[in-house]
Structure 1
């Protein structure tokens, strides 16, 4: 997997079908689409019932709901978001997601998530 993820480093023209899915758990998978040290875009596919556990990180995060319906919780406030909606997570703020209908999130991080890169 390392060489495939590294192949996304500063990739300028990205075709979705060229990238494999990484299994996160039984209901979640992701693709690192492209990244630099300052920015990363990740596609995350959820099956209904998939849970992005509550967590925080030093990165700024903005996410676009490309499909499906999610209950998003940020800093204790929850809202149901659907295709076309967006949410922003400031640095070090607790957040999580519950997938209510199969869907896809497009996550953007600044700086890139080094913990997503496998060595």
Structure 2
């Protein structure tokens, strides 16, 4: 398993395309944990998906219609949400914004 450097600089961390209107930066990671920043343009959709990782997310800015399993809620800056492993989830960005995701274990598919 790879591990990130101890420190990450926003200016030196590349943005990667993560779908139409979505970009992400991968921050600190190691075997048990990964931190990822995702920015969304208004109207961008995080298509419904599931993965074996637990996910906790902080809404840094914007607003999103979030669906987790059979629950749907609008989340705004300052809110957060948790997605258990293997639960289908997705979102629609209602107002341009940024999500800060923590995954456990590390999302090796992002490296």
Deviations 1:84-110, CA, capped at 9 Å, x for gaps: 100000011111011000000000000
Contact 2:58 2:80 in 1 (8 A): yes
Indicate the residue corresponding to 1:27 in structure 2: 21
Indicate the residue corresponding to 1:40 in structure 2: 34
User: Which runs of 4 or more aligned residues in structure 1 lie more than 4 Å from their structure 2 counterparts after TM superposition?
Assistant: none
User: TM-score, with normalisation over the residues of structure 1?
Assistant: 0.88
Q: Indicate the structure with greater strand content.
A: 2
* CA-CA distance at 1:25 after TM superposition: 2.6
* CA-CA distance at 1:37 after TM superposition: 1.1
The alignment's C-alpha RMSD in Å is 1.1
User: TM-score, with normalisation over the residues of structure 2?
Assistant: 0.94
Contact 2:17 2:23 in 1 (8 A): yes
Gapped regions of structure 2 (runs ≥ 5): none
Gapped regions of structure 1 (runs ≥ 5): 1-5
Contact 2:55 2:102 in 1 (8 A): yes
Distance 2:53 2:33 in 1: 10
Deviations 1:16-40, CA, capped at 9 Å, x for gaps: 1111101123300000011001100
Indicate the residue corresponding to 1:105 in structure 2: 99
